[in-house]
Structure 1
Amino acid sequence: MTLRLEHDGAVAIVTLDRPDRRNAFTMAMRGEIATLFDNLAQDDGIRAVVLTGAGGHFCSGADTGEMGAADSAAFLKRMRALHRMIRAIAATPKPVIAAVDGVCVGAGWSLALACDLILASPNASFAQLFGRIGYAPDAGAIWQLTRLVGPMRAKEIVYSGRTLDADEALQLGLILSIEADRPIRDAAIDLATRIAQGPPVAQAMSKQLFEATTLSFDQFLDREFLVQPFLATTADHRGDWPQRETSAPRTSSADNPFISLAIMISMGNGAARPCQFCCPSGSSWSSPISPPAPTTIIGGSTRSCAACSTPISTSC
């Protein structure tokens, strides 16, 4: 078994379990990790996730032993599987905490960076080693590092390929804390348990807003526009969510942010599209689909969202 799933109340613990290879992930594991996180995202009994590694290490990246010589088509297949795995972790609507011990390098570091929070043991080490084999970092590493430490420091880390210890990672803001007094796994589970007691829909919406911080300020405010009015209708605002036990299935789609915020408007030709809040600039949406309410027309020809009267962004 190369991937282990355990439960501690409302917390799921996902362990990369190839200690003989410092938990390097295989092609098969890419699909297994993606499917597992997709399933956790849909499981109402899970409120937070811990991702860690077995045998004193987090992850040494992709298993280069199974790469060998391959043509471009084979590499594209690997990249698709890699990106599906990273997207599944990053898109999980529940908080995900990486518990890093020992080696965390290459695409293994990307796995940790795709999580919401990273806790590290004193002997954790981080590096982007792709240059040693003539590759550039993948799995979103450059995008993540640039957001966290700025482009100049990110370039230095990538170009040099040097190793960062836990102290430097903490100083740069690449990890949340160094856990020296207890096993890193226990520290991560304790934090996840505390987070799991919070309002789940509000946390999911907050996570979406954090991801929207790459937008312009005005675009971000458009995205934020409906969050509080929406949350005011949920059990989270009423204080009805289970706080110290696994959550019960939701009884209404109104408490599901990924259903209730999919507000569609008619474009006059039978097709439909979301309003600014529901469609970040540059993203795609499956159309056509029937809107749940008629489009409101304001100012003679300007269309607005049927639910909130927000003018439609022409860039959306």
Structure 2
Amino acid sequence: MQYQTIRFQVDGAVATLSLDRPEARNALSLQMRAELDDVLPRLKAEAGKGIKALILTGANGHFCAGGDVKAQAARAAGDKGTLMEGRARLREAHPRLIELANLDMPVIVAVDGAAAGAGFSLALTGDFVLASERAFFVQSFGKLGLVPDWNSLYLLPRLVGLQKAKELVFTARRLPAHEAMALGIVHSVHKPEDLMAVARRMARKLAQASPAAIALSKNILNQSLHLDNRAVLEMEAMAQTIARDTDFHREAVRRFAAREPALFDWDAPDPAEPPAQGEGMR
């Protein structure tokens, strides 16, 4: 498929998926949604093999302005269809959102400029959200008399708590990057010119970890908040049994016993690009 509204590149073990509709601040058009649905199966199939980390970002100084309001207005002026047809259009996004949130690899979201409406929701699907100093987040649905969608009503209260989630949804106020970091939405804030370099460095480092350990841990963590303790312990036991039977674990143990350099060491220098002082995951 020849992409018109996204860019997809693979560099070594790191894939970069960029939303690219400059004329609409990367709003989620029907074509963009179809192109996302085309690339996600490749990411899913390659997870832990050729591709071990994903960066999700937006081109041209914006992350995503949310839904395509102009297209929605045009549709409202014409044949809107039935309520059930409208519901079906919204539900077609559900498999996409679940697959993206549960990809068997680290997903790093790099937000520059606006993450509004469904763009805010999309950012929440990542494992880590990095933001530029000029980035902002807004649950803009309320400005149009709408309810948050694209998984915001599930993910947001789990990150910031119920009361703060209600505030952000009810007020539809603009949330600057540093406040978003204080709330736990954003992992770290960087200068706009440094944002992608930091995201790539993080992705390269995480791509060196055990793909199985990352995938298994992520799967359990994503379910842990709605499972009881006994269920999580059982999942831990099964996941650990699988992880112990991987080539990565065997080689890591051999190196430890032989006092050789670790197979994965987050604190070791990045040979591709040594981290600048004060940057990286803390």
Fold agreement, TM-score > 0.5: yes
Query: TM-score, normalized by length of structure 2?
Result: 0.82
Query: Within 2, Cα distance between the matches of 1:84 and 1:20?
Result: 27
2:62 is equivalent to residue 50 of structure 1: no
Deviations 1:90-139 (A, max 9, x none): 12111110000000010001111011110000000001011111111001
Note the C-alpha offset of 1:33: 1.0
Deviations 1:257-280 (A, max 9, x none): xxxxxxxxxxxxxxxxxxxxxxxx
Amino acid at match of 2:54: V
Does structure 1 conserve the Cα–Cα contact (< 8 Å) formed by 2:5 and 2:31? no
2:7 is equivalent to residue 11 of structure 1: no
Cα distance change on mapping 1:182 and 1:239 into 2, 3 Å? farther
Query: Within 2, Cα distance between the matches of 1:181 and 1:82?
Result: 30
2:44 is equivalent to residue 41 of structure 1: yes
Note the C-alpha offset of 1:22: 0.5
Q: Based on CA coordinates, which of the two structures has the bigger radius of gyration?
A: 1
Query: Within 1, Cα distance between the matches of 2:237 and 2:223?
Result: 12
> In structure 2, which of residues 179, 183, 188 is the aligned counterpart of residue 168 of structure 1?
179
Query: Within 2, Cα distance between the matches of 1:18 and 1:29?
Result: 9
Note the C-alpha offset of 1:29: 1.8
> In structure 1, which of residues 89, 92, 98 is the aligned counterpart of residue 109 of structure 2?
98
Residue 254 of structure 1 corresponds to: none
Query: Within 2, Cα distance between the matches of 1:114 and 1:170?
Result: 16
Gaps of 5+ in 1: 245-316
**SS at 1:60 equivalent:** coil
Note the C-alpha offset of 1:25: 1.0
Amino acid at match of 1:148: L
Does structure 2 conserve the Cα–Cα contact (< 8 Å) formed by 1:59 and 1:108? yes
**SS at 2:165 equivalent:** helix
Does structure 2 conserve the Cα–Cα contact (< 8 Å) formed by 1:38 and 1:92? no
2:204 is equivalent to residue 193 of structure 1: yes
Does structure 2 conserve the Cα–Cα contact (< 8 Å) formed by 1:120 and 1:166? yes
Note the C-alpha offset of 1:181: 7.2
Residue 132 of structure 1 corresponds to: 143
Query: Within 2, Cα distance between the matches of 1:8 and 1:46?
Result: 9
> In structure 1, which of residues 218, 224, 230 is the aligned counterpart of residue 242 of structure 2?
230
Number of paired residues? 242
Query: Within 2, Cα distance between the matches of 1:56 and 1:182?
Result: 10
Does structure 2 conserve the Cα–Cα contact (< 8 Å) formed by 1:34 and 1:89? no
Deviations 1:1-44 (A, max 9, x none): 10110122110000000011000011222232133122112112
Does structure 1 conserve the Cα–Cα contact (< 8 Å) formed by 2:112 and 2:192? no
> In structure 2, which of residues 160, 163, 168 is the aligned counterpart of residue 149 of structure 1?
160
Does structure 2 conserve the Cα–Cα contact (< 8 Å) formed by 1:117 and 1:175? yes
Amino acid at match of 1:47: K
Percent identical across equivalent pairs?
39
Residue 75 of structure 1 corresponds to: 86
Does structure 1 conserve the Cα–Cα contact (< 8 Å) formed by 2:116 and 2:138? yes
Query: TM-score, normalized by length of structure 1?
Result: 0.73
> In structure 1, which of residues 60, 80, 85 is the aligned counterpart of residue 65 of structure 2?
60
Does structure 2 conserve the Cα–Cα contact (< 8 Å) formed by 1:127 and 1:163? yes
Amino acid at match of 1:32: E
**SS at 1:104 equivalent:** strand
Higher relative contact order (CA 8 A, sep 6+): 2
Residue 311 of structure 1 corresponds to: none
Residue 279 of structure 2 corresponds to: none
Query: Within 2, Cα distance between the matches of 1:181 and 1:5?
Result: 21
Query: Within 2, Cα distance between the matches of 1:27 and 1:75?
Result: 14
Query: Within 2, Cα distance between the matches of 1:113 and 1:61?
Result: 13
Residue 29 of structure 2 corresponds to: 26
Cα distance change on mapping 1:181 and 1:75 into 2, 3 Å? closer
Deviations 1:151-210 (A, max 9, x none): 011101100110100110011111000012743122111110110011111100011111
Note the C-alpha offset of 1:52: 0.4
Note the C-alpha offset of 1:76: 2.1
Query: Within 1, Cα distance between the matches of 2:5 and 2:192?
Result: 28
**Within 5 Å, which residues of 2 pair with 1:278-289?**
none
Does structure 1 conserve the Cα–Cα contact (< 8 Å) formed by 2:134 and 2:192? no
Gaps of 5+ in 2: 253-262, 265-282
Task: Please give the root-mean-square deviation of Cα atoms over the aligned residues, in Å.
Answer: 1.6
Question: Moved runs in structure 1, 4+ residues, more than 6 A?
Answer: none
**SS at 1:135 equivalent:** coil
Amino acid at match of 2:85: A
Query: Within 2, Cα distance between the matches of 1:139 and 1:174?
Result: 16
Residue 119 of structure 1 corresponds to: 130
